[in-house]
Amino acid sequence: MTQSSITRPSALLRRALQADALVSGAMALLLSLAAGTLSRLLALPQPLLLETGLFLIGYAALVGWLGTRRALPKALVLIVIGGNALWTLGSVALLLSGMVAPNALGVAFVLIQATAVGIFAELQFIGLKRSDAAVAA
């Protein structure tokens, strides 16, 4: 890899990745272990909740690992940021699509997690820009 494809993470990027991993890990456990209960409470499909939880186990592990590295491949960080942005848009699109019919609590659940993921994407993006500025200086 060339020097420009690797970055030393700024404190903000490192913290944003670690916080993303922590929140994603907690959500993974909640969704994986309580999908049935959440499905009844939120009026969201149990398979959707369970499969999302299982996906988040791997995602949390990857992002947690990235949050511990002294040097990061920029491309991988950009994939995480882009994935978070797409997750946010996809969550809203899911609600608008009519493919699910959550109750008010379910809508709030989806929108709150989408907002949190969008905030992580923004913090990671700003943190990456600060990382690039530190390398250039």
Using alpha carbons, list the distances in angstroms from residue 89 to 8, 114, 115, 116.
29, 8, 10, 12
pLDDT one-digit tens code per residue, 67-86: 999 999 999 999 999 999 99
Distance (Å, whole) CA 85 – CA 90: 9
Element containing residue 53 per DSSP (H, E) = helix 46-66
Domain extents for the chain? 11-132
pLDDT average, residue stretch 82-92: 99
Round to whole Å and give the CA distance between 70 and 23. 22
* pLDDT of 1 higher than 50: no
8: left (phi over 0), alpha (psi -120 to 50) or beta: beta
Model's pTM, two decimal places? 0.91
